[in-house]
Structure 1
């Protein structure tokens, strides 16, 4: 399965020079994002023949859109047969494209040539055999991979220092801050003053686009839909609300069935018509966005107040953390919304789990599926996901200050080929911390000072050029990377 996705990435890399010729940064971001998505889907169930058909059709579409870069000097492909020399040369060019993804990173290659054929023969013949023979063997060298990110260290890549803008439109603590998906310009905030705000940060000057008002209690959490057209919010007023982002209006009010305060919310990653809420009466509930009603069999009770939740990328596994120090895993039927409790993991008895984030892999040095957890024990915890039902194994802890505040953390959005991998967290000592999860000592690679209250949440935009952080006094700081142009 993984081999077919590797072939798709190799094909995309071959044509990458033809995308956005005047914007090389976009090309780099595009190919890295493709790599991330393909890796996430590599081990999912599916028919190999179907995936190979996808590869063939994508090759034809790319050729139709951009022409055939490998054979442009040979004239029309339709009426041309290929010599052994031309096939050999262009097979080598396919390796040159793969070199951009790290030829010194341990990829084993075997060349095969043929004497003649059509475009179909090319993709189903020698090139297909070349792609089929690729085997990914991670190594510690990764020289070409590091070249993709400018040869910089993790510390250099996350050298955020200057402030791009400061927002202070909220009169109470800002509980969560999130950039829109695949969007580096818009960020939204939720606050205990009962409102949410949507802000434009690029181009300057940064402005507040609109305020979303309607909740009768503090807003504890929110999330963007995948298409960024809807925001789902959770509140202490025992409701969740769906907001039309473009109009800035409330589309639907969902009342919690048990009458509890809603502490957290999530969209199902593969079906945004389905979302999950967790409340202070220990209930996890799967809801339908169209009807505002719960699914049959879609609720479950845990031992404490639900404070945080996270899905895996498949949407079939859900984790919920409570105020008693436990994380519960659930299997989710994507079609019916039915929940089934699977595991209970105690992180620290009696200490609230305030944030959970899931990631399929971080980098070439940290390839295990991972869960990032904030718990009120002065540590940020990184767990390895060790089974299909969500069992966890503690890998590392990182020192932060957290005893009582509802602090959140996040993975860096770009799963890069660089050495090292970063996670970021707020802290009660008013700092933002960057940690390299691949290091065994001196894991803190950057620390930002600027807040005058505990930092509750942090979030990157999609290309990691800006970082947002929020605190208990209602301040939101947008940080910018050092230098005029970040090398991603």
Structure 2
């Protein structure tokens, strides 16, 4: 079929009309039979006849403008005509489903268009759907004020597309401040809330709550799974660190501190070591078996976030003033020593996220992601041969927020050259950004929460994304399969 952008209307209306009469629908039987007949291949190619296609387009262009405005004002479940039509066509095209059957009754039936197109400035119509994945690959964007031929705009396929909600957990009545999937596990999810509770769930069919761990008296600030997913170590504003045995749902150890415990991580090589940052400007190395502090290192401000490299030799920690530190750790003894203090961050706000990645397609080395409370994101390369010296690659400024919103690296895509991250937002959306494209960094977003989104986390299989909000709702999104 010829491209629409080069199609022009026939020179004369096939139906006779007077010069003063208003245009009317053609009544000529030959014209109607030509318009309504099925497409027939031309003699020179297997493509449909060009005259037939042109006449069909000409007929569609004669629709009254009122029909277009009516479609623009149409609403269903709070979404517009375009989103609903795209949703239906995606189901017909490849069975790309909407919400999972395991959604809670109050949230069942929600649907979202996976492509990152917007209805704010224009209304769109589907021109082409990829037959393999069912993901929108090209749309036609038409301004509501235009009467000229359509303007054609090509959109790239979103880097991270989702088919809908896998499941929803809404049993928590307080803000969910942190959530994580189990290590090397695709179906175990845990989340901590501001009421001190820690909930462990399974997201495989059927999704269910396995344990609700009660013991902390104030906000859960962080937690971590052991390497075998048998234990969870959690820290809280109540100045304690607690170790839980998941299968029994019991607390087997409590370590008391003198200040709020703000971040925690199991050592990746020696799981008998717990690294804990606190408001007393310290990182403590705690013996998991005895609960005793075996080593500690002091900083200038409260330690609010930390992560450890895959070798277990370097700790990266962020403080309440936006500084990032590199700390050397002995995997056997747990002894700690400061290496570098990074001052390249312009933010003077508390660090909410520190995340290490072994390899980056952009930097071609180990990298670090940092997120501050004021909305600044920083992307660093790591010089492992220089004891964790950080070099700033790029930064991204998001909207400022009063929430401790977290961010996370996205799974690597072999066909993508960017460095993608996902983050919560104060406007109740989940956003995907490409740090390698600061001028056009937002590549997709997920809509479904009713309050600010605080936490985000990927599972080990990288096909599920969990997000939590300040109302206590946790949504697990199912990522679309990519070719």
Give the match's secondary structure for 2:272.
strand
> Within 5 A, what are the aligned runs for 1:6-405?
155-156=157-158, 158-160=160-162, 162-204=164-206, 206-256=207-257, 259-295=258-294, 298-346=295-343, 347-348=345-346, 350-363=348-361, 365-386=362-383, 388-405=386-403
Cα distance change of structure 1 residues 192 and 419 upon mapping to structure 2, 3 Å threshold: same
String of CA shifts for 1:386-415, please: whole Å, max 9, x gaps. 353222221112342243321211112457
1:406 paired residue among 404, 407, 426: 404
Report the Cα distance in structure 2 between the residues aligned to 1:181 and 1:157, rounded to whole angstroms: 25
CA contact (8 A) 2:396 2:438 kept: no
Q: Which runs of 5+ in 1 are unaligned?
A: 1-149
How much does 1:361 deviate? 0.9
Report the Cα distance in structure 2 between the residues aligned to 1:402 and 1:273, rounded to whole angstroms: 38
Report the Cα distance in structure 2 between the residues aligned to 1:401 and 1:238, rounded to whole angstroms: 31
CA contact (8 A) 1:170 1:193 kept: no
String of CA shifts for 1:40-81, please: whole Å, max 9, x gaps. xxxxxxxxxxxxxxxxxxxxxxxxxxxxxxxxxxxxxxxxxx
Report the Cα distance in structure 2 between the residues aligned to 1:200 and 1:225, rounded to whole angstroms: 17
Give the match's secondary structure for 1:271.
coil
CA contact (8 A) 2:317 2:324 kept: yes
CA contact (8 A) 2:430 2:447 kept: yes
Structure number with the higher helix fraction is 1
1:473 paired residue among 467, 471, 474: 471
2:482 is aligned to 487
More divergent stretch after superposition (375-384 vs 223-232): 375-384
- Tell me how large the CA RMSD over aligned residues is: 2.3
More divergent stretch after superposition (376-385 vs 155-164): 155-164
Give the match's secondary structure for 1:272.
coil
2:19 is aligned to none
How much does 1:422 deviate? 2.1
CA contact (8 A) 1:260 1:281 kept: yes
Report the Cα distance in structure 1 between the residues aligned to 2:227 and 2:414, rounded to whole angstroms: 22
Cα distance change of structure 1 residues 169 and 154 upon mapping to structure 2, 3 Å threshold: farther
Cα distance change of structure 1 residues 169 and 230 upon mapping to structure 2, 3 Å threshold: same
Report the Cα distance in structure 1 between the residues aligned to 2:213 and 2:156, rounded to whole angstroms: 37
TM-score, normalised to structure 2, is 0.65
Cα distance change of structure 1 residues 166 and 452 upon mapping to structure 2, 3 Å threshold: same
- Larger relative contact order (Cα-Cα within 8 Å, sequence gap ≥ 6): 1
Cα distance change of structure 1 residues 359 and 155 upon mapping to structure 2, 3 Å threshold: farther
- The number of residue pairs the alignment matches comes to 330
More divergent stretch after superposition (438-447 vs 235-244): 438-447
2:58 is aligned to none
How much does 1:481 deviate? 2.1
String of CA shifts for 1:77-118, please: whole Å, max 9, x gaps. xxxxxxxxxxxxxxxxxxxxxxxxxxxxxxxxxxxxxxxxxx
Larger radius of gyration: 2
Report the Cα distance in structure 2 between the residues aligned to 1:200 and 1:395, rounded to whole angstroms: 37
Q: Which runs of 5+ in 2 are unaligned?
A: 1-134, 138-154
Report the Cα distance in structure 2 between the residues aligned to 1:414 and 1:229, rounded to whole angstroms: 28
